[in-house]
């Protein structure tokens, strides 16, 4: 029926009804400006102001999260899930009693929507809410709804009600294309869950799915836990770079940008030191996925996972990745030589290039060659300026504007969360984006898009507006300045906003295919396309202004920044190829011929070129193995498609309204309601994408830009 997840971390499935808007543009109440330029638009000013006045009251009376009354307290998740499960029983009975026809698909979609309204909201809350009680209640709701979903996907009577529709050729021919596709997608969910199996094997499939959900949750938690080491084992002069707790040093990341080689080396070796429990969890997760795939009739989990994607098969994915790797080889070699030369220049006594070096030294090369020291650029990239830039871009390209609204008490989970209404110049309100942008304790260190509620056409003719959350990890403002973004943070903001626009602009009849509910290797196209806008000087020139003086960033600075992105780009892409191939091998033929660490070592040395470091296990931090299992290649394939769309539609004029409207009409509006190959046919001169025919074309477009 559905798959729960996120984008960035990806996927996401619907949730919750919100109260009506309190009024557009009313950002001023409760916000206090600091010493910043006063020439910002309302959106820019709102994001450059410090929230004041309305704080999260943990003890007083409050409304519910996202405006859901039941969720004013953690116990509300049980109420919400019980209501959803009762409605599910009613809808299942109705689906089984309804004669085959379009109404069958509508009931299935309402059934999916009912479960998603709880599951996806809970999927977000379980990792993002600052209160443990809310996180625990949401975790239990996810498990409860997930178990129901797996039971429904093996419910024979429910399956037969849909099968009767698909078996009637005359009826199917009478359906509109979107309804027909949604019916087929629901049937696909049944088939990959083993509906064709006997009763005992169906139960085994349900049990495996539930086990996989639990293992995935455990692996994700373990992937983000810090490692500790006795402090006397680290040189004294680098300890201050980490968190000290008694006699131990806690290391919670790779510190890839640290200028001290020893800090990066220590972080790499300690953070990636193997954890036996996490290793067992990964091995069991991969084994359980393989067992499930074989049980329902697939030779590998990758074959099951890639059904319905642009690539379609793991063989096509490996062909794409190997061809891309071959094309990158010469450039990657040159990049590594350049990085090695910079390390030798700065550290002549230890010039061997190691895996903890490229991110830092490539940054040094960019700064030296193009003079793009982040401290020079950050004052021009205040959060308000960047949000204003997005507002300008979407207004000119799509006729869309942002309006900041004051959330009701209890509607948000942290006082610095901002609520945006997304409004079209003629269509009116399109949906809501909750901006959870700032760092806080226990918040995951990754940028993500979450669907909280998917759009769909309701029975009364109204449209259920989409609601999403964008989660970033930006620094808080200081006493003297608003939040200032590095160029990389600015690009990440644009990327995640691409996902949000996909959700806002999807106008499908069915929530099952709304917005980002589409094949993974297509879902990343809109977000990666936004990176092209973020790296175009014509776009950056529109919003990059000094937060104090309002002065625009000089054109030569914008040009240098955009040019600098090409430095060591091949090495960066080669790293992604390595990750994607590793993911394919882990989800390929089982039993694996070697341990996951031995496979990592072999794949890293073959497809990345830098040596494996003994007693490390990077795969245990590879959290994308959960949400992107067998699909990590999607970033690269989507980049190839996004490159094609950019060159065909926006390269000549990134603000072309006709091209923007066409992009919305032919790609974004359909969500997953059309075959992705048809949606990436961006030109009458270009055929619909067939990866067996056009792999080289897309690689060439991506590399030679």
**Pairwise CA distance, residues 493 & 379, whole Å:** 16
User: How would you write 189-244 as a 3-class SS string?
Assistant: HHHHCCCCCCHHHHHHHHHHHHHHHHHHHHHHHHHHCCEEEEHHHCCHHHHHHCEE
Distance between CA 161 and CA 154 in Å, rounded?
13
Q: Hey, what are 106's tokens?
A: 């509508």
| Contact in structure between 317 and 311 (CB atoms under 8 Å) | yes
Among 70, 110, 178, 496, which one carries the catalytic annotation? 496
Cα 21 from Cα 27, distance rounded (Å)? 13
Structure tokens at 596: 């996951």
Q: What is the 3-state secondary structure (H, E, C) of 549-601?
A: CCCECCHHHHHHHHHHCCCCHHHHHHHHHHHHHHHHHHCCCCCCCCCHHHHHH
- How far is the C-alpha of 406 from the C-alpha of 53, rounded, in Å? 11
Alpha carbons within 13 A on the beta-carbon side of 215: 23
d(CA 215, CA 408): 36
How far is the C-alpha of 697 from the C-alpha of 644, rounded, in Å? 9
What three-state secondary structure class fits 424?
Answer: strand
The pairing of strands 467-474 and 428-438 is parallel
Strand ranges inside 373-439, DSSP E: 400-405, 418-424, 428-438
Active site residue 75: no
Kindly list the catalytic residues.
496
């Amino acid at each position: 029926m559905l798959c729960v997840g996120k984008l960035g971390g990806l996927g996401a499935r619907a949730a919750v009804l919100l109260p009506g808007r309190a009024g557009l543009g009313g950002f001023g109440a409760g916000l206090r400006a600091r010493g910043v330029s006063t020439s910002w638009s309302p959106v820019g000013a709102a994001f450059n102001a410090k929230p004041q006045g309305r704080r999260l009251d943990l003890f007083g009376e409050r409304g519910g999260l996202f405006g859901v009354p039941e969720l004013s307290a953690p116990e509300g998740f049980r109420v919400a899930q019980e209501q959803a499960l009762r409605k599910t029983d009613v809808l299942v009975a109705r689906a089984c009693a309804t004669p085959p026809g379009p109404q069958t698909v509508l009931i299935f979609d309402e059934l999916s929507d009912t479960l998603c309204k709880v599951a996806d909201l809970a999927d977000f809350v379980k990792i993002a809410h600052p209160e443990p009680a809310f996180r625990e209640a949401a975790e239990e709701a996810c498990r409860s709804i997930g178990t129901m979903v797996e039971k429904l996907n093996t419910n024979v009577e429910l399956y037969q009600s849909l099968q009767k529709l698909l078996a009637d050729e005359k009826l199917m021919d009478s359906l509109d294309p979107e309804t027909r596709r949604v019916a087929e997608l629901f049937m696909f969910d049944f088939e990959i869950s083993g509906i064709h199996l006997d009763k005992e094997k169906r139960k085994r499939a349900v049990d495996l799915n539930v086990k996989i959900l639990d293992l995935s949750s455990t692996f994700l938690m373990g992937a983000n836990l810090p490692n500790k080491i006795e402090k006397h084992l680290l040189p004294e002069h680098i300890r201050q770079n980490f968190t000290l707790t008694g006699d131990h040093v806690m290391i919670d990341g790779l510190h890839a940008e640290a200028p001290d080689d020893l800090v990066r080396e220590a972080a790499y070796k300690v953070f990636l030191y193997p954890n036996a429990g996490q290793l067992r969890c990964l091995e069991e997760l991969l084994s359980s996925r393989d067992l499930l795939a074989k049980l329902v009739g697939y030779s590998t989990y990758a074959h099951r996972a890639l059904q319905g994607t642009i690539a379609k098969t793991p063989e096509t994915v490996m062909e794409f990745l190997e061809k891309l790797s071959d094309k990158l080889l010469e450039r990657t070699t040159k990049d590594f030589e350049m990085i090695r030369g910079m390390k030798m220049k700065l550290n002549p006594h230890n010039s061997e290039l190691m895996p903890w070096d490229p991110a830092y030294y490539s940054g040094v090369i960019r700064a030296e060659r193009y003079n793009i020291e982040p401290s020079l650029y950050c004052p021009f990239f205040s959060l308000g300026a960047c949000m204003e830039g997005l507002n300008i871009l979407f207004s000119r390209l799509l006729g869309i504007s942002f309006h900041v609204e004051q959330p009701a008490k209890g509607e948000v989970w942290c006082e610095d969360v901002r609520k945006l209404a997304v409004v079209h110049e003629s269509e009116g309100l399109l949906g809501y984006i909750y901006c959870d942008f700032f760092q806080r304790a226990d918040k995951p260190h990754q940028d993500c898009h979450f669907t909280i509620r998917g759009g769909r056409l309701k029975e009364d003719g109204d449209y259920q507006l989409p609601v999403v959350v964008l989660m970033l990890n930006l620094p808080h403002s200081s006493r003297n300045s608003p939040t200032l973004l590095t160029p990389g943070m600015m690009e990440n903001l644009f990327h995640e906003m691409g996902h949000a626009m996909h959700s806002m602009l999807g106008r499908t009849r069915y929530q099952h295919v709304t917005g980002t509910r589409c094949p993974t290797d297509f879902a990343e196209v809109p977000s990666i396309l936004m990176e092209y806008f973020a790296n175009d000087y014509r776009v950056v020139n529109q919003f990059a202004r000094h937060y104090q003086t309002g002065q625009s960033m000089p054109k030569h600075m914008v040009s240098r920044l955009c040019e600098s992105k090409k430095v060591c780009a091949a090495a960066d892409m080669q790293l992604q190829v390595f990750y994607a191939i590793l993911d394919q091998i882990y989800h390929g033929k089982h039993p694996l011929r070697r341990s996951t660490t031995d496979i990592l070592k072999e794949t890293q040395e073959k497809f990345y070129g830098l040596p494996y470091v003994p007693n490390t296990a990077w795969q245990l931090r590879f959290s994308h193995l959960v949400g992107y299992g067998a699909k990590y290649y999607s970033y690269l394939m989507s980049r190839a498609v996004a490159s094609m769309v950019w060159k065909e539609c926006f390269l000549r004029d990134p603000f072309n309204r006709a091209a923007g409207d066409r992009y919305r009409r032919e790609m974004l509006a359909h969500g997953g309601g059309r075959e992705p190959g048809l949606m990436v046919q961006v030109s009458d001169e270009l055929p619909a994408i067939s990866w067996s025919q056009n792999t080289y074309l897309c690689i060439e477009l991506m590399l030679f830009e």
